[in-house]
């Protein structure tokens, strides 16, 4: 019986460790992605670059939920603003070439 409990605890520990590592990876990917976009794209998306970066840094501490919010919430709006489909900040037409 003790062996079964030990195996269940090990599986639970490994699952939580996988969630923790995944949270770090998502937050680091968010920080890298955050550096690729200009401030006007964030403004057109309804936020600032600094706020998005702070969310990614908090995601390193809180792991999963905050990093996912950047990746699936803010990032989509920024990409849409860069593509010109956000209808956000007037005069912003993406990267200067």
- In this structure, is the dihedral angle defined by the CA atoms of residues 68, 73, 74 and 80, taken in order, positive or negative? positive
Confidence of residue 14 (pLDDT cuts 50, 70, 90): very high
Estimate the share of the chain in helix, then strand, then coil, as percent rounded to the nearest 5: 75, 0, 25
**Residue-level pLDDT at 27:** 83
For the segment 52-66, what is each residue's pLDDT rounded down to a tens digit?
888 888 877 776 677
Confidence of residue 73 (pLDDT cuts 50, 70, 90): confident
Helix (H, G, I), strand (E, B) or coil at 56: helix
Q: What are the residue ranges spanned by the domains of the chain?
A: 21-83
In this prediction, residues 76-84 reach a mean pLDDT of: 81
Using alpha carbons only, give the angle 47, 49, 51 rounded to the nearest 5 degrees. Answer: 65
pTM over 0.85: no
Residues contacting residue 12 through CB under 8 Å, at least 6 positions apart: none
């Amino acid at each position: 019986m003790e062996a079964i409990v030990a195996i269940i605890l090990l599986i639970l520990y490994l699952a939580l460790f996988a969630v923790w590592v995944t949270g770090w990876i998502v937050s680091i990917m968010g920080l890298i992605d955050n550096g690729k976009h200009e401030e006007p794209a964030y403004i057109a998306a309804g936020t600032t670059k600094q706020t998005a970066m702070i969310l990614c840094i908090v995601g390193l501490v809180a792991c999963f939920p905050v990093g996912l919010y950047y990746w699936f919430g803010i990032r989509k709006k920024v990409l849409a603003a860069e593509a010109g489909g956000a209808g956000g900040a007037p005069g912003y037409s993406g990267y200067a070439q």
